[in-house]
Amino acid sequence: MHPARRSLRALVAAAALLVSAAAGAGNQMYEPMAASVRAALHAAVSDAGAPRLLIADPLERERWLAEMSRRLEKRIPDSNYRSELLTSVHYEATRAGLDPQLVLGLIQVESNFRKYAVSSAGARGYMQVMPFWVGVIGSPQDNLFHLRTNLRYGCTILRHYLDIEKGDLFRALGRYNGSLGKAHYPNLVRTAWERDWGWPAQQLAANTTPAN
């Protein structure tokens, strides 16, 4: 084989490995659910409230956005898009009763903040949502590559798993990844959450307003 062609093939293979590593998670498994649960999840993903930072103190709100934007800058250079993404993450996480910093850590592990990431199992977008969820709790027109739609589904699904597991985050993350009972994925998310997205939780909680 010509050296240049061999080199190109090696580069393509390396790129494929990187894509696979960045989008290899998020393979939620379909599980039968009661009609009442399905209806509640459908209502959650259908809510079209405008995203906003649910932090009551304007100075704290500004500080959070500036700091998270700084941390995200290398992955997403566009400052306006960073702000939109972070505001949506905070809003969707808070309305689902999740720590926004946890969701940022999960997104980092799932897709490395790549909007159009697709896993080998077909999971899509920032939070690597499996397409079967659209048929189970959503509407046919829902696009899992749409920023807010993806975050809405992902946060709703993680909240659902937390409820099933009675607040046990380790097991809920295992369900989210399709690896219930195994430590690798929950540990990856927790490490990213605490190492890269940590924020004074008690201070944020004291200044957070409830979502409508």
Q: What is the pLDDT of residues 140-165, one digit of tens each?
A: 999 999 999 999 999 999 999 999 99
1 confidence band (pLDDT: 50, 70, 90):
low
What pLDDT, on the 0 to 100 scale, is given for residue 207? 45
Domains assigned to the chain: 3-206 (1.10.530)
| CB distance 61 to 53 below 8 Å | yes
In Å, how far are 38, 167, 172, 205 from 164, measured between CA atoms?
13, 8, 8, 24
Q: What is the pLDDT of residues 20-72, one digit of tens each?
A: 344 444 477 777 777 777 788 788 787 766 678 888 889 999 999 999 999 99
In the numeric block, the tokens 């993350």 are attached to 173
3-state secondary structure of 8: helix
Task: Name the more confident of 98 and 205.
Answer: 98
Q: pLDDT at position 56, please?
A: 81
The predicted pLDDT at position 204 comes to 45
pLDDT band at 174, cuts 50/70/90? Answer: very high
CA separation for the pair 119, 200 (Å, rounded): 33
104-108: average pLDDT:
98
Q: Report the pLDDT value the prediction gives residue 124, as an integer from 0 to 100.
A: 96
Q: Which residues contact 98 (CB under 8 A, 6 or more apart)?
A: 155, 158, 159, 162
Report d(CA 135, CA 38) in Å as an integer. 11
Answer for the pair 120, 24: CB distance below 8 angstroms, yes or no: yes
Q: What average pLDDT does this structure show over 87-93? A: 94
